[in-house]
Amino acid sequence: MQPYRHKVQYYETDKMGITHHANYIHWMEEARVDFLDQLGFGYDRMEAMGVGSPVISVECRYRAPSTFPEEVTVAVRVARFKTVRIWFEYEMKKADGTLVCQGRSEHCFVSPEGKLLRLDKACPALAEKLTALAEGAE
């Protein structure tokens, strides 16, 4: 999978000229959406199939600042997948390779009514791909 590329926008910086910490969470979402698009199962397709994937938890570890107008790449990987839950890990780096941030998010799969659902039953093709990616991560 290709890493997601994000150019730090001026409005994303704080009074000190560095990226405000909350933006890294937004970049994780942007990268996750792109990752699923690359798999052929973007959120729009998943939702059309009756599958939602809300965030259960998210964490970030800040390693170095980024500033306008640097480009930050966000690599996403499936750390773990269990039929009703998925864990993603993120690694954000500047063009020179400096590690900026590491993150993790946990999601569940739900029906349009908000009930937990097994992805292997609701969308077997996506479940197969995620299983393979998770097994490659171990």
Please give the chain's pLDDT, 138 residues, in tens: 999 999 999 999 999 999 999 999 999 999 999 999 999 999 999 999 999 999 999 999 999 999 999 999 999 999 999 999 999 999 999 999 999 999 999 999 999 999 999 999 999 999 999 999 998 865
Query: What pLDDT is recorded for position 136?
Result: 82
Query: What pLDDT is recorded for position 137?
Result: 62
For residue 103, what are its two tokens? 């993150």
Instruction: Order across the sheet with 71-82: list the strands.
Output: 4-7, 71-82, 85-94, 99-108, 55-62
HEC assignment per residue over 56-91: EEEEEEECCCCECCCEEEEEEEEEEEECCEEEEEEE
Structural domains present in the chain: 4-137 (3.10.129.10)
In the residue annotation, 44 being an active-site residue is answered as no
Find where tokens 């890990």 sit. 89
* Catalytic one of 14, 34, 44, 120: 14
pTM: 0.94
**Beta bridge partners of residue 87, listed in sequence order:** 80, 106
